């Protein structure tokens, strides 16, 4: 039996409508007879962070990777309650009195037909509850027979979470959490007060260790109360409460000690409510194994403290705990529910060993073909022992992009789409943040450690010695903290990844080669992208990121790649186009009866906040850009004055770094 799990919006990439608000983190997975074959997030394919578009490319990738045709698919599982989704659509679309709003089932039929390219028989669609899909994604990947399963997120299907007891595949719901009790929304409110927004919560988690929670502890305790039976009550508007104490930070403003202390108190408040709930649930159920999913489960600091608390003997956190993992959970839930209905004996699912489930970067021959396209900008050579050569460069303190095999599923780069560096020099943290990632200096990086050496460098609090998914923040051993200067956070912790030779031999070999050269079985590992894009997926994505950052080297497959010194004329020969998700805007403001002001912008159709002001000359160029004409040709055809061309070319380069335009070799 082949099941396609589908999590996605209803907007194609080129359009923007109210339907775009129906979801985020679009994704697709394919399972055959309960075995996970492929899992792809749409953002890796359409290059939109947290894509809310139709997961068309993700579906195609999953099917293509496994040679599956449309007529072979037995079920397509959508992770939402059908009636709840229909009600949401009626509310979103505000129908007129005599106008009928299409339901989610009808829209899914249209979506698959128009955007994905095949028709689906009605009986093939299955709808499963949002939070049960989250829960299933954790339980069925944990390897546990019996477990407490806790899902905490923002909201979905009119709830903010669920707690279940599962015994040999038999589910019992203990509690559903209404939206007013949403820990995800609570943490998001604090995130917004600090000048960030949805999907930025992890930044606040990284900022919190720089602060002291004592300063605002009493203030935060006015925002919630702990009740009997593990319950809690969130009181009023957190942002309003905080604004009474200190002005709200605006995006781009400096981060002060006040902001760090508020982040620390926010993190502490989250942990206070979560532990209050967990202590009760553990006592009530007696379970010694815990499964976690939902967006709050990406709070690795909280996860680490749960592990250290010894409330549970084992804790599994779904590595795709966010909504991108719903496609996986929905598919697994549908499969196991069918097995139960058919009276099949319960067979425990194997634990999830890795998430290298995305698209393949290609053979060395295919990689070479992708590199040849950019030969005016890069030079490359084949290395038979790429691990040894890369380890040498890392030991010489070069920062490297590393692309191998199949892409990871979920938000973490785990050694196949990574930026790597020596973890010892503390300055590597600031260097990578400034010149590569182009992000806040306080953001930490993860250590990837050979699992055989993990206990030598980190305080491992449980029987498990494997932490392959960067889902836990653990303590760095005190005598190793200065040694791991670039990956040890200010509070002496690190979000670790243990690397197994069984699940990623090439990455293991690289770290081992670095160990033999330096004595250090650890590398700094962070996702291969800049701050304007999702993690790179293809050879072309990797080259573009390499050319628009200050990475020293790029490794793809067995190829070592360096940048060439190229002249401006080579840059001008690149073909210019707009991404499908960008639109040009031109507006006029009447200042007075005789004075008019014009403005020109480039806007992402998936988020109006992502708007870039551009010059009228660049607006003119982009209005004619079709991917068939070079920058040089467009400068001529649009009659850009010679004295303005250098500024226009510089602006084009900046837009390329922002991924607001597409440049390709002719």
**Predicted pLDDT of residue 97:** 54
Segment among 84-93, 304-313, 652-661 with least mean pLDDT: 84-93
**CB 59, CB 4: distance < 8 Å:** yes
**Predicted pLDDT of residue 606:** 85
**CB 125, CB 334: distance < 8 Å:** no
Segment among 451-465, 506-520, 584-598 with least mean pLDDT: 584-598
**603: β partners:** 583, 611
Mean pLDDT of 213-242: 96
| 446-450 and 582-590 beta bridge pairing | unpaired
**Predicted pLDDT of residue 587:** 83
Per-residue pLDDT of 144-169, as tens digits, reads 999 999 999 999 999 999 999 999 99
Cα(226)–Cα(220) distance, integer angstroms: 12
Report the chain's C-alpha Rg in angstroms. Answer: 25
- pLDDT of 562 > 90? The answer is yes
- pLDDT of 255 > 90? The answer is yes
Cα(326)–Cα(169) distance, integer angstroms: 19
Mean pLDDT of 221-228: 97
- pLDDT confidence band for 101 (50 / 70 / 90): confident
Q: Residue 113 gets which letter from DSSP?
A: I
Cα(334)–Cα(558) distance, integer angstroms: 40
Cα(160)–Cα(139) distance, integer angstroms: 18
Cα(527)–Cα(436) distance, integer angstroms: 11
Per-residue pLDDT of 20-40, as tens digits, reads 777 899 999 999 999 999 999
Mean pLDDT of the chain: 94
Annotate 504-528 with b (16+ C-beta within 10 A) or e (fewer). bebbbbbbbbbbeeeebbbbbbbbb
**Predicted pLDDT of residue 608:** 76
**Predicted pLDDT of residue 609:** 80
Angle between helices 130-142 and 326-341 in degrees, nearest 10: 80
Higher pLDDT, 210 or 349: 210
- pLDDT confidence band for 334 (50 / 70 / 90): very high
DSSP character string of 409-441: SSS---SSEEEEE-SS-THHHHHHIIIII---T
Burial class (CB in 10 A: 0-12, 13-18, 19+), 74: middle
Residue 562 parent element (H or E): strand 559-563
Task: Collapse the DSSP code of 265 into the 3-class scheme (helix H, G, I; strand E, B; otherwise coil) and give the result.
Answer: helix
In degrees, to the nearest 5, what angle opens at C-alpha 373 toward C-alphas 433 and 116? 80
Strands of 75-78's sheet in order across: 35-41, 27-32, 2-7, 75-78, 125-127
**Predicted pLDDT of residue 9:** 85
**CB 184, CB 229: distance < 8 Å:** no
Longest dimension (CA), the chain: 81
Cα(605)–Cα(583) distance, integer angstroms: 7
Burial class (CB in 10 A: 0-12, 13-18, 19+), 238: buried
Higher pLDDT, 294 or 463: 294
Considering only CA atoms, which of 521, 472, 528 is closest in space to residue 499?
A: 521
**Predicted pLDDT of residue 90:** 85
**Predicted pLDDT of residue 219:** 96
- pLDDT of 592 > 80? The answer is no
- pLDDT confidence band for 14 (50 / 70 / 90): confident
Per-residue pLDDT of 186-209, as tens digits, reads 999 999 999 999 999 999 999 999
- pLDDT confidence band for 98 (50 / 70 / 90): low
**163: β partners:** 150, 175
In degrees, to the nearest 5, what angle opens at C-alpha 639 toward C-alphas 638 and 640? 95
Per-residue pLDDT of 452-473, as tens digits, reads 999 999 999 977 889 999 999 9
Mean pLDDT of 276-303: 98
Considering only CA atoms, which of 443, 455, 496 is closest in space to residue 473?
A: 496
**Predicted pLDDT of residue 591:** 65
Segment among 96-105, 161-170, 204-213, 499-508 with least mean pLDDT: 96-105
Mean pLDDT of 477-495: 97
**Predicted pLDDT of residue 236:** 87
**CB 619, CB 510: distance < 8 Å:** no
Question: Residue 609: how many CB atoms within 10 A of its CB?
Answer: 8
């Amino acid at each position: 039996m082949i099941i396609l799990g589908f999590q996605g919006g209803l907007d194609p990439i080129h359009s923007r409508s109210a339907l775009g608000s129906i979801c985020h983190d679009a994704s697709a997975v394919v399972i055959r007879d309960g075995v996970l074959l492929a899992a792809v997030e749409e953002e890796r394919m359409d290059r939109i962070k947290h894509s809310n578009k139709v997961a068309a490319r993700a579906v195609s990738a999953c099917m293509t990777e496994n040679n599956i045709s449309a007529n072979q698919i037995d079920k397509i599982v959508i992770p939402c309650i059908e009636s709840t989704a229909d009600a949401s659509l009626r509310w979103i679309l505000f129908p007129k009195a005599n106008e009928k709003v299409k339901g989610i089932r009808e829209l899914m039929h249209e979506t698959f037909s128009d955007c994905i390219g095949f028709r689906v028989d009605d009986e093939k669609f299955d709808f499963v509850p949002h939070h049960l899909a989250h829960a299933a994604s954790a339980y069925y990947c944990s390897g546990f027979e019996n477990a407490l399963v806790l899902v905490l997120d923002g909201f979905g299907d009119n709830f903010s979470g669920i707690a279940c007891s599962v015994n040999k595949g038999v589910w019992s719901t203990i509690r559903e959490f209404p939206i007013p009790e949403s820990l995800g929304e609570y943490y998001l409110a604090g995130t917004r007060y600090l000048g960030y927004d949805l999907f930025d919560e992890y930044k606040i988690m990284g900022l919190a260790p720089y602060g002291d929670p004592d300063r605002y502890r009493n203030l935060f305790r006015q925002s919630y109360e702990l009740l009997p039976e593990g319950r809690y009550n969130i009181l009023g508007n957190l942002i309003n409460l905080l604004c009474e104490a200190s002005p709200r930070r605006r995006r781009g403003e400096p981060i002060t000690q006040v902001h760090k202390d508020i982040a620390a108190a926010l993190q502490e408040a989250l942990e206070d409510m979560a532990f209050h709930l967990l202590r009760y649930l553990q006592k009530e159920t007696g379970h010694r194994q815990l499964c976690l999913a939902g967006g709050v489960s990406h709070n690795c600091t909280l996860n680490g403290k749960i592990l250290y608390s010894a409330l549970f003997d084992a804790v599994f956190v779904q590595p795709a705990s966010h909504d991108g993992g719903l496609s996986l959970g929905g598919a697994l839930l549908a499969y196991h529910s069918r097995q139960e209905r058919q009276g099949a004996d319960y067979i425990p699912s194997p634990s999830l060993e890795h998430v290298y489930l995305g698209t393949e970067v290609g053979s060395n021959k295919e990689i070479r073909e992708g590199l040849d396209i950019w030969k005016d900008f890069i030079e490359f050579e084949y290395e038979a022992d790429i691990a040894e050569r890369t380890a040498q460069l890392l030991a010489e303190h070069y920062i490297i992009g590393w692309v191998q095999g199949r892409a990871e599923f979920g938000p973490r780069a785990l050694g196949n789409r990574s930026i790597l560096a020596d973890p010892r020099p503390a300055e590597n943290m600031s260097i990578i943040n400034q010149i590569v990632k182009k992000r806040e200096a306080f953001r930490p990086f993860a250590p990837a450690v050979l699992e055989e050496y993990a206990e030598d460098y980190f305080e491992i609090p449980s029987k498990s010695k494997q932490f392959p998914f960067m889902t836990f923040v653990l303590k760095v051993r005190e005598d190793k903290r200065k040694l791991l200067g670039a990956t040890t956070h200010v509070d002496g912790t690190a979000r670790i990844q243990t690397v197994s030779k069984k699940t990623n031999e090439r990455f293991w070999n690289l770290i081992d080669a670095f160990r033999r050269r330096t004595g250090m079985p650890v590398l700094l590992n962070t996702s291969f992208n800049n701050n304007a894009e999702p993690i790179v997926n293809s050879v072309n994505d990797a080259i573009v990121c390499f050319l628009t950052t200050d990475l020293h080297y790029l490794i793809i497959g067995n190829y070592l790649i360096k940048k060439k010194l190229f002249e401006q004329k080579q840059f001008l020969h690149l073909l210019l186009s707009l991404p499908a998700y960008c639109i040009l805007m031109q507006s006029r403001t009447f200042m007075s009866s005789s004075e008019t002001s014009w403005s020109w912008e480039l806007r992402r159709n998936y988020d109006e906040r992502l708007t870039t002001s551009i010059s009228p000359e660049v607006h003119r160029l982009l209005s004619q850009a079709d991917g068939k004409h070079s920058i040089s040709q467009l400068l001529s055809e649009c009659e850009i004055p010679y004295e303005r061309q250098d500024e226009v070319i510089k602006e084009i380069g900046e837009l390329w770094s922002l991924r607001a335009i597409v440049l390709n070799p002719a």
